[in-house]
């Protein structure tokens, strides 16, 4: 059976494995080099012995040689020591890859908060409005949400105080229709969420406008 790097202990003699591991732990494996699966190392024992191995990419040990006089069994202690070294290097390489992944993930620009908030709201936009709508003419002192252009931004203003604990707009809320006239509309939970999100956004960056308009259109559509 051809041993592989993950299971070489099972193929070698137990005493040989123990002694090889001990050599590895005592840092007797030196001059380690690896290139395209060709491994070379010098193991310091009674003398310095040179170990060479050939490893396939999937970890199968294709060949292993040592110039010591004890290379009679499946493997000698020097080869075992080198195998521990290889396995440790592979672990480090795998860990390095993970660390690189994490760093790459951290470098990925985070989505803007407005984008996340609006995306979420758009995703859960109801298809049709189920609540009964009773438009009422009311005075300007009543609650309103006003959306307007200021420079290159959409700015939201309202006389509704956000509940600091709930971060929600009290229902019912009113959409500004004109400077003098408002229409009272009972809000669905979805709309309340939209309004509170818009109010929290305050003013949205230019690039968010498309999504905001999409949202407002969704609400208006639902109110018809
Ligand atoms: Zn040997």
At 140 the pLDDT is 47
Which tokens in the block code for residue 171? 């229902």
Q: Which residue has the higher pLDDT, 45 or 3?
A: 45
CA of 70 to the centre of ligand 1 (A): 6
pLDDT band at 174 (very low <50, low <70, confident <90, very high): low
pLDDT band at 81 (very low <50, low <70, confident <90, very high): very high
CA of 81 to the centre of ligand 1 (A): 9
pLDDT at residue 10 above 70? yes
Those residues whose C-beta lies under 8 Å from the C-beta of residue 77, and which sit 6 or more positions away, are 16, 19, 20, 23, 43, 45, 70
CA of 92 to the centre of ligand 1 (A): 25
At 25 the pLDDT is 94
CA separation, residue 110 to residues 113, 153, 192 (Å): 9, 22, 26
At 132 the pLDDT is 47
- C-alpha–C-alpha distance, residues 148 and 140, integer Å: 17
Q: Tens digits of per-residue pLDDT, 120-164? A: 888 877 765 554 444 445 444 556 677 777 887 778 777 666 555
- Calculate ∠ Cα 30-36-41, nearest 5°: 15
> Which ranges constitute the DSSP H helices of the chain?
8-11, 14-25, 77-107, 113-123, 189-201, 209-223
**23-27, 86-90, 95-99, 186-190: segment of lowest average pLDDT:** 186-190
Of residues 97, 83, 25, the one with CA closest to residue 54: 83
Number of neighbours of residue 108 by Cβ within 10 angstroms: 8
Of residues 35, 17, 24, the one with CA closest to residue 82: 24
Q: Which residue has the higher pLDDT, 202 or 87?
A: 87
CA of 78 to the centre of ligand 1 (A): 4
Of residues 150, 135, 145, the one with CA closest to residue 215: 145
> 0.85 exceeded by the pTM?
no
What is the pLDDT averaged over residues 94-116? 71
At 182 the pLDDT is 57
At 216 the pLDDT is 79
Contact between residue 66 and residue 78 where contact means Cβ atoms under 8 Å apart: yes
CA of 10 to the centre of ligand 1 (A): 18
CA of 35 to the centre of ligand 1 (A): 21
Of residues 31, 9, 30, the one with CA closest to residue 80: 9
């Amino acid at each position: 059976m051809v041993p592989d790097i993950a299971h070489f202990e099972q193929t070698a003699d137990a005493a040989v494995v123990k002694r090889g591991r001990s050599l590895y732990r005592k840092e007797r494996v030196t001059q380690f080099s690896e290139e395209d699966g060709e491994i070379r190392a010098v193991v310091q024992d009674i003398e310095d012995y040179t170990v060479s191995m050939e490893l396939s990419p999937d970890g199968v040990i294709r060949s292993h040689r040592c110039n010591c006089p004890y290379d009679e069994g499946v493997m000698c202690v020097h080869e075992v020591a080198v195998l521990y070294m290889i396995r440790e290097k592979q672990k480090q390489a795998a860990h390095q890859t993970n660390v690189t992944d994490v760093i790459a993930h951290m470098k990925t620009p985070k989505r803007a908060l407005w984008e996340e908030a609006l995306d979420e709201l758009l995703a859960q936009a109801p298809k049709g409005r189920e609540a009964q709508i009773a438009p009422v003419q009311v005075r300007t002192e009543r609650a309103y949400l006003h959306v307007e252009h200021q420079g290159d931004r959409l700015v939201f203003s309202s006389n509704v105080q956000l509940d600091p604990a709930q971060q929600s707009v009290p229902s019912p809320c009113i959409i500004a229709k004109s400077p003098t006239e408002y229409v009272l509309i009972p809000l669905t939970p979805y709309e309340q969420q939209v309004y509170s999100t818009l109010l929290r956004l305050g003013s949205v960056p230019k690039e968010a406008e498309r999504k905001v308009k999409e949202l407002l259109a969704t609400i208006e559509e639902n109110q018809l």
